[in-house]
């Protein structure tokens, strides 16, 4: 479960799924991924069952009783034009918008992992769930997927959940030309097989070419580029610095989202994203269409999109290495099978830096009292007076030697370094 947890987000789920599919492709395997949709996830939580699960987790009885009294009985008031028109009562479900609801939902669904067999990959972000199985034989994959779906259907029935079969889809990821359709069922209803699916804002296609996602990004950015055109012109409109900030927040953020997954796309598809940046920056700087693309990025102070995405991917990989993320094991296996895979570029770069063994050791901080003695320091202004007597064009030539002669003249002195200095080959700081 990556939803509503510190240091986790949607990019963890999409990165794991994309990396797992890339690993299977390099093993000449197929992948079946089922995207499950829960109907009314928060509204379907049974408070009595949640109370029992909290007790099984050894949560103090005071907290569980408080939560039970808080959510077991709710009075709903419906207002129209300032007056109460309708009152209803609710005995189940978690309120939408409550800060406790995501946390309690994660606890309520935490036992679903126990019914997932080995060899199945199950990723969750809140109520968005995806189940993936890879292998060489499609019939074996279908059998294991169907057994797992039956287990999930039984678990959902016992916990009061209902999966929307109409919104639940599955994709057969394969690089093979002969695609044979398979049949999967959930609660007795057939699940629709699709060629592409939008999962957490990223369009996954059956061959993992990312052309569908690139087209989706182009469609979103074209509307926002048109908005930039409406607020600026050659001799009028917003200031270029304000437009660049607007570009970073509204357009570049769309280009960057989920970049770890589609960074492996072809150069032809990626160039479409670069053209979006070039076009946006020309509008922000009010330049002609004939202006060279590299000059546009230099004038705007924006690094090329490929370098920007590589930087973001390296930061993400370093975070995964720091917290022992399961993505690292997948990337290590992939680097052994196919070191030239495009999705490995940021991982290989981070490994070449060899950062982990050279971490600065933690510093022990000690608190102690300091006796402060106030005094008026002796300030020598003679150096400033001597500099006034030297012509301005000669100051760079004589200032250093004059200061050294002045410094040596002091019999008793102590040198203090105010910035981060090297002590035993380790950078430190002082307060």
Residue 83 maps to a domain: yes
Residues 334-351 have pLDDT tens digits of: 888 888 888 888 888 888
Is position 252 within any domain? yes
My answer on whether 143 and 79 are in the same domain is no
Q: Read off the tokens for 325.
A: 């993320």
Let me know whether 171 and 285 are in one domain: no
Residues 142, 35, single domain; the answer is: yes
* 293 plus 187 within the same structural domain: no
pLDDT of residue 361: 47
- On whether both 237 and 88 belong to a single domain, the answer is no
- What tens digit of pLDDT does each residue of 29-65 get? 888 888 888 877 777 777 878 888 888 888 888 888 8
State the pLDDT at residue 188.
82
Q: Are 351 and 317 in contact (CB under 8 A)?
A: no
In a domain, 265, yes or no: yes
Residue 414's pLDDT band, with cuts at 50, 70 and 90, is: low
Burial of 430 from C-beta contacts in 10 A (0-12 / 13-18 / 19+): exposed
CATH code of the domain covering residue 129: 3.30.70
Percent pLDDT > 70 in the chain is 86
Cα separation values, 198 from 14, 104, 148, 296, Å: 11, 27, 22, 33
Strand partners, 38: 163
Q: Report the domain count for the chain.
A: 3
Q: Is residue 146 part of a domain?
A: yes
232 and 195 assigned to the same domain: no
DSSP for 301-314 reads: T---HHHHHHHHHH
- Structure token pair of residue 229: 């055109």
Single residue among 262, 284, 302 that ends a domain in this structure = 302
270-312 confidence digits (pLDDT tens): 889 888 888 888 888 888 877 788 788 888 888 888 888 888 8
Contact status, residue 26 vs residue 337, Cβ threshold 8 Å: yes
Of the ranges 57-66, 114-123, 204-213, 419-428, the best mean pLDDT one:
204-213
- Domain identity same for 32 and 143: yes
Full domain range(s) for residue 277: 211-302
CB-facing half-sphere around the CA of 17: CA atoms within 13 A: 32
Mean pLDDT estimate for the chain: 80
Region 254-268: what's the mean pLDDT? 87
Under 8 Å between Cβ of 162 and 38: yes
Question: Is a pLDDT exceeding 70 seen at residue 1?
Answer: no
With respect to residue 244, please indicate whether it lies within any of the assigned structural domains.
yes
The mean pLDDT of 383-405, rounded to a whole number, is 78
pLDDT at 296: 85
For residue 360, pLDDT beyond 50: no
Q: Are residues 134 and 172 in the same domain?
A: yes
Residues 148 and 18 in one domain: yes
175 with 29, same domain: the answer is yes
Cα dist. 19→24, 263, 291, 351, 353 in Å? 9, 11, 38, 17, 22
**What does the pLDDT read at residue 327?**
84
Q: How far apart are alpha carbons 202 and 217 in whole angstroms?
A: 10
Do 40 and 149 lie in one domain? The reply is yes
What is the value of pTM for the model shown? 0.70
């Amino acid at each position: 479960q990556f939803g509503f947890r510190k240091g986790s987000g949607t990019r963890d789920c999409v990165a794991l799924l994309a990396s797992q599919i890339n690993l299977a492709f390099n093993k000449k395997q197929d992948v079946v991924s089922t995207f499950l949709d829960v109907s009314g996830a928060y509204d379907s939580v049974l408070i009595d069952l949640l109370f029992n699960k909290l007790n099984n987790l050894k949560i103090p009885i005071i907290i569980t009783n408080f939560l039970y009294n808080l959510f077991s009985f709710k009075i709903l008031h419906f207002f129209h034009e300032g007056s109460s028109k309708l009152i209803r009562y609710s005995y189940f479900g978690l309120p939408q918008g409550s800060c406790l609801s995501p946390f309690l939902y994660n606890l309520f669904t935490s036992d679903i992992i126990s019914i997932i067999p080995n060899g199945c990959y199950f990723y969750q972000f809140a109520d968005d769930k995806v189940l993936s199985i890879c292998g060489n034989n499609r019939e074996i994959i279908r059998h294991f997927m169907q057994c797992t779906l039956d287990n999930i259907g039984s678990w959902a029935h016992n916990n009061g959940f209902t999966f929307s079969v109409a919104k639940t889809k599955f994709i057969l990821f394969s690089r093979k030309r002969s695609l044979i359709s398979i049949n999967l069922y959930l609660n007795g209803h057939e699940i629709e097989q699709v060629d592409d699916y939008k999962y957490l804002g990223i369009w996954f296609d059956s061959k993992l070419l990312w052309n569908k996602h690139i087209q989706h990004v182009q469609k979103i950015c074209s509307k926002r580029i048109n908005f930039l055109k409406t607020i600026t012109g050659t001799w009028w409109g917003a200031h270029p610095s304000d437009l660049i900030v607007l570009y970073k927040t509204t357009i570049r953020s769309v280009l960057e989202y989920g970049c770890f997954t589609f960074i492996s796309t072809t150069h032809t598809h990626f160039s479409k994203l670069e053209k979006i940046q070039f076009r946006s920056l020309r509008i922000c700087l009010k330049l002609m269409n004939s202006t060279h693309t590299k000059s546009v990025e230099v004038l705007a102070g924006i690094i090329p999109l490929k370098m920007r995405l590589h930087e973001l991917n390296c930061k993400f990989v370093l975070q995964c290495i720091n917290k022992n993320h399961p993505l690292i094991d997948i990337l290590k296996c992939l680097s052994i099978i196919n070191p030239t895979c495009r999705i490995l570029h940021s991982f290989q770069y981070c490994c070449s830096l060899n950062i982990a063994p050279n971490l600065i050791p933690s510093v022990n901080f000690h608190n102690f009292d300091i006796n402060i003695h106030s005094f008026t320091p002796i300030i020598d202004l003679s150096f400033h007076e001597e500099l006034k007597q030297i012509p301005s064009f000669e100051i760079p030539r004589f200032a250093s030697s004059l200061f050294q002669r002045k410094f040596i003249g002091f019999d008793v002195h102590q040198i203090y370094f105010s910035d981060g200095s090297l002590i035993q080959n380790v950078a430190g700081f002082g307060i």
